[in-house]
Amino acid sequence: MSEGLGEEVKTNPQGDVITAAPAPTKEAKKGAAAQRVVDPDYLFLQAPREKTFITGSEAAKEAIRRANVDVAISYPITPQSETMQQVGYLYAEGYVKDYYRGEEEYGVMSAIAGASRSGVRCLSATAGPGLMRGLEVISSWPGGRLPAVLLIMCRVINAPLAIQPDNVELSYMLNTGCLLFHAENQQDFYDYALAAFMIGEKPEVTLPVAVAVDGFFVTHARGWVSLPAADIKLPPRDCYHEAVPMMDNENPPIRISRDAPIQKSNFISYQMHASWQQEIWAAQERSRKWIERWLGGLVEVVNPKAKIMIVASGAAVSQSREAVRQAAEQGIEVGLVKIKSVRPFPAEEVRAALDHAEKILVPEFNYVGWLAKEVKSTIRGSERVISGPRVFGGMSMPTELILEYIMGTPNRR
C-alpha cells in the first residue's frame, strides 16, 4: 500500500502529532466503596444470613467489615493481636479508612479519644495487661462522651503472669462508665461488636462500648456464625446529633473543656462533676432499649421455673449449658441466666429470674468472683448465692465441677 493511502495523521496548531488516548476504564468499586448502606434494623434483624465456621477473631473481622469504621488503632498483645491483624487485612481491602499501630496502649487509647472527638467511628482492641495500661485513658472516655468500640480479649493480668484465659480484668471495667457486653461465643462476638457501634452512638447514649470475650476459648477456636452478605454496612456515624458537640473549627477544644471561672470555684466544680457523672450512668440506662432491640435483651433465661439456677457470663455460659443438659439426664432440672450486658447490669431481669430460686450458682473464670458480687448485691436473699465454681490462671472449667456444685457437695459462699 502506498503511503498516500495511509491513515491521515492529525496534528495540533504547533505541528505535534495528536494521538488518540484510550478511553478511561471504569474501575470496579472495592471494599467499603462497593458496599451499600442499610438500616441497622435490616442488618441486625432482617438480612438473610449464611452460616460459616470461623474463629472468634474472624467473627470480629466480619463485624468490622460491615461496621463502616473510619479509624482502627491498637498495640499488639496476646490474645488480641490476631483480631487486629484481621482488621489490618480489612484496611488493605478498603473496608477501614485508617489503621495503624500505636506506640503502646496509653497512646492508643489517647489517640482513640482524639479520633472520637473529631466525630469519626473508632475501634480499638486490647487484652489483659494492655487493658490495665490503657485504663486511665479509657476511664476518661465516658466523661468525654466519646463513642468508640473497645474489644477486650480477656487473659491473666496478675502474677505469676500468663497469657491464659481469665477475666478478672473485667472487674476493673465495671465502674468506668463504659457499656460492657460479655460474649459467650463466636456468634455473640460478631453480633455484640457490630451492634455496639450503633448503641454507643445513639444521641441519648453517646458512650463508649467495651465488648469482652474470653481469650483463646473464643478468639482462637472455631464456631458456627451466621453472617449477612458482605456487601451491606451500617450508616456512618452521625456525630452532630450526639450529646456533646464534636471538635471542629466551630467547636475548638477550649470550648468543650470546663470554663475558667468554673475551674476557679471548687464548689461549682464539685457540683458539675457530680451531675455529669449521674448523667453518664443515666445514659447507660437509656441504652437498654437498644440492647433489647438489637441483642434480644440483656439476659437469656433457660428453664425459668427451675429451683436451682445458674448465673453466668462469657465462656462460663457454654460450660453451664452443658452442665444443665447433664443434670437433666440425671433427672435434676437446672435453669440458666446468661448475662449479656454487664453494664448496664440487668438488675430487674436478674431479680425476676431468681426470685423463686432456692439455690443460685455463679461459675466464673476469675479469682475475685466479680459477677457473684453483682448478683448478691442485686437480689433479695443473697444467702442463696453460692459463689462458684471459680477457676482462674488459664484453667478450664469441667462441667463435672459445675455438677458437683449443683449436687450440693461444696459448701462455699
pLDDT of residue 163: 83
pLDDT of residue 274: 78
pLDDT of residue 277: 84
| DSSP three-state, residue 319 | helix
- In angstroms, rounded to a whole number, what is the distance separating the alpha carbons of residues 196 and 179? 9
Angle between helices 288-295 and 266-286 (to 10 degrees): 20
pLDDT of residue 260: 53
- In angstroms, rounded to a whole number, what is the distance separating the alpha carbons of residues 281 and 367? 27
pLDDT of residue 413: 46
- In angstroms, rounded to a whole number, what is the distance separating the alpha carbons of residues 386 and 112? 40
pLDDT of residue 23: 60
- In angstroms, rounded to a whole number, what is the distance separating the alpha carbons of residues 86 and 125? 12
Collect the ranges in the chain with pLDDT lower than 50: 1-4, 411, 413
pLDDT tens by residue, 79-111: 988 899 999 999 999 999 999 999 999 999 999
Only one residue has cell 452532630, namely 240
Only one residue has cell 448478683, namely 375
pLDDT of residue 253: 59
pLDDT tens by residue, 346-362: 999 999 999 999 999 99
Same fold, 31-233 and 299-407: yes
- In angstroms, rounded to a whole number, what is the distance separating the alpha carbons of residues 297 and 290? 9
Parallel/antiparallel/unpaired status of strands 299-302 and 334-339: antiparallel
Nearby residues of 229 by Cβ (< 8 Å), 6 or more positions away: 47, 48
Q: Considering only the top CATH level, what class is 299-407?
A: alpha beta
Name the grid cell of 99: 489503621
CB atoms within 10 A of CB 45: 11
Where do the structural domains in the chain lie, given as residue ranges? Answer: 31-233, 299-407
For domain 31-233, is the CATH number 3.30.2130.10?
A: no
